[in-house]
A = this chain, B = another copy of it.
């Protein structure tokens, strides 16, 4: 399993995000993945290597065609980490709300 450093590094580039978005709809050969991107093939292959290191994609060769597919585990790990932070954050806001409600109540009592 790739670590979070390389998982998130995989997402920090528009070409790599485009490849992930394309593969989310199904596997594709490298030539088809590269076609929409205005760059030399070696540069594009470097992006695929970064995605492979981040556990986002895997590829296999059949004859002369290399086909890539998405591995959903990387997305799960990324969403999992973000979800944890959201829980912390929302827990904090809930406690803040509760605190403010207490203050309001006290002030209300003092008014009466």
A positions within 8 Å CB-CB of B: 4-6, 8-9, 11-14, 17, 20-21, 24-26, 70, 72, 75, 78-79, 81-86, 88-89, 92
Contacts and interface: CB of A to CB of B under 8 A. Distances in A.
A21 B92 CA distance: 12
B82 A70 contact: no
A86 to B, nearest CB: 6
B21 A85 contact: yes
Given A4-B17, A21-B88, A24-B86, 7 more contacts: A4-B11, A4-B12, A5-B12, A5-B13, A8-B9, A9-B9, A79-B79
A79 B82 contact: yes
